A and B are shown apart, each in its own frame.
Chain A
Amino acid sequence: GEDVEQSLFLSVREGDSSVINCTYTDSSSTYLYWYKQEPGAGLQLLTYIFSNMDMKQDQRLTVLLNKKDKHLSLRIADTQTGDSAIYFCAELASGGGGADGLTFGKGTHLIIQP
């Protein structure tokens, strides 16, 4: 079955880069997403990457995809206190009769040290 794995915690110093990693098992994934969940708030889509891309940059965010290794990462440059949140990796499989729901990892809690 589908599985998405992430480490549970990442601690970085303010101003450094944060790199959050994710591995997935479904080779038919078409889109991969990064969501952010701040305390008391709903999930917010940060960025996504299509499976035929290997990199996508959006301001401070860089997504790298290694499809051969089924590895996805999110790099946040110049990490700020406002980046403190839980980051979820999610994949959308290519279908096969099921719903278009996403499969999520457990989330990585990003902790910012002053």
Chain B
Amino acid sequence: SAVISQKPSRDICQRGTSLTIQCQVDSQVTMMFWYRQQPGQSLTLIATANQGSEATYESGFVIDKFPISRPNLTFSTLTVSNMSPEDSSIYLCSVEEGRMRHSYNEQFFGPGTRLTVL
């Protein structure tokens, strides 16, 4: 199974600044995902990041606010731009391993990045 690391593990940031979160996987994966878990809420998918194409954003999330890079099959970054206190969340990246689309595709999650915006 994939082993995923994220940096930073936590950060406290000032309003109006930006933070880039890195996600590193120990194997090559096609599909990577970024989720947000706001306090007391469930996980919400932000976007899907496939290598070699633009990220696909879910409703309510836009590229200007959450730019994503996916330069290769083992790495991705999520930037939280122009932060406000409402962006305080845990941000998780996940990867999907599976043989076929819509077969059993296990998703593995990173440990998360806890972001606090003051």
Residues 38-53 of A contacting B (Cβ, < 8 Å): 41-45, 48, 50
| Assembled-state Cα–Cα distance A18/B79 (Å) | 39
Residues in A lying within 8 Å of B, measured CB to CB? 4, 30-31, 33, 35, 41-45, 48, 50, 88, 90, 92, 94-95, 98-107
Closest residue of chain B to A49 (Cβ to Cβ) is B104
Residues of A within 8 A of B96 (CB): 100
Q: Which of A45, A94, A107 contacts B108 (CB 8 A)?
A: A45
| Assembled-state Cα–Cα distance A94/B44 (Å) | 18
Interface residues of B, CB < 8 Å — how many?
Answer: 28
Q: A101 contacts B42, CB within 8 Å?
A: no
Residues of A within 8 A of B48 (CB): 99-101
Closest residue of chain A to B96 (Cβ to Cβ) is A100
Residues in B lying within 8 Å of A, measured CB to CB? 4, 31, 33, 35, 40-45, 47-48, 56, 58, 92, 94, 96, 101-102, 104-112
Q: B58 contacts A101, CB within 8 Å?
A: yes
Which of A30, A42, A44 has the most chain B CB within a 10 Å cutoff? Answer: A42
Q: Contacts A99-B58, A101-B33 given; indicate if A106 touches B41 (C-beta within 8 A).
A: yes
Which of A30, A31, A101, A103 has the most chain B CB within a 10 Å cutoff? Answer: A101
Q: Contacts A42-B110, A43-B92, A100-B96 given; indicate if A94 touches B102 (C-beta within 8 A).
A: yes
Residues of B within 8 A of A103 (CB): 45
Residues of B within 8 A of A100 (CB): 31, 48, 96, 101-102, 105
Q: A99 contacts B104, CB within 8 Å?
A: no
Residues of B within 8 A of A33 (CB): 107
Q: B43 contacts A88, CB within 8 Å?
A: yes
| Assembled-state Cα–Cα distance A111/B76 (Å) | 36
